[in-house]
Structure 1
Amino acid sequence: MSLPTDAPDPLVSSRVRAGVLAWLSDKGAGDFTELAAVLALANNALSSHLQRLERAGYVELRRGFLGRKPRTRVVLTAAGRAAWLAHLDRLG
């Protein structure tokens, strides 16, 4: 069963996940720690929301190192941008 085209996307309806997509729509990508600070979230809370967005294909998490420090980049995908724009259209 699919949602009607005007039905809100439950993934984007969350305040935190909407904040993630809004921030990424402006920047395209950013560091996990920067995103956590901007949204004033604990790392574990942000991680949980990002996992849901990643499973939906809205973001991509790129893990690596910057020197010896672990680094996670959060990247908005084309599907994520489309979901965010559709959300904004429903609001407007």
Structure 2
Amino acid sequence: MSKADEASLGLDPAIHPLPRLRICALLDPITEEEFATLRDLLETSDSALSKQVTALADAGYVTQRRAVRAGKSRVWVQLTDAGRRAFRAHVAALTAMTERS
């Protein structure tokens, strides 16, 4: 499916790839999550998760912050307000597609 096709259906090309959709789905109901926890929940590597988080950050949909906890530097990922709106609109578009079938 081309980006133009995705857009015409109301799908967000920044969220549509499954790994990014899953990241947004995990982050939507919470304030933020630690990078390592996301990695474990998604059963992926640090580098693969980093690539997907960077794509979402480039779209303005997530932010990352570093914090020291228990003497270790950790990264926390959070959906922005724009990211939350975009994710919910994307899910609504997917739902609408299934209802038309």
TM superposition score normalised by structure 2: 0.82
**Paired residue for 2:11?**
8
1:91 aligned to which of 89, 94, 97: 94
Correspondence 1:39 to 2:42 = yes
Matched AA of 2:15? V
**Paired residue for 1:79?**
82
Q: CA RMSD in A?
A: 1.4
Structure 1 outlier segments of 4+, above 2 Å: 3-7
Q: Is the 8 A contact 2:10 2:90 kept in 1?
A: no
Identity within the alignment, % = 33
Structure with bigger gyration radius: 2
Of 17-26 and 65-74, more deviation after overlay is shown by 65-74
Give the Cα–Cα distance (whole angstroms) in 1 for the partners of residues 36 and 67 of structure 2. 14
Deviation at 1:5, TM superposition (A): 5.8
Count of paired positions = 90
Matched AA of 1:83? A
Question: Which runs of structure 2 are paired with 1:57-76 in the superposition (5 Å)?
Answer: 57-76=60-79
Deviation at 1:67, TM superposition (A): 3.2
**Paired residue for 2:98?**
none
Matched AA of 1:86? A
- 3-state secondary structure, aligned to 1:34: helix
Structure 1: which 5+ residue stretches go unaligned? none
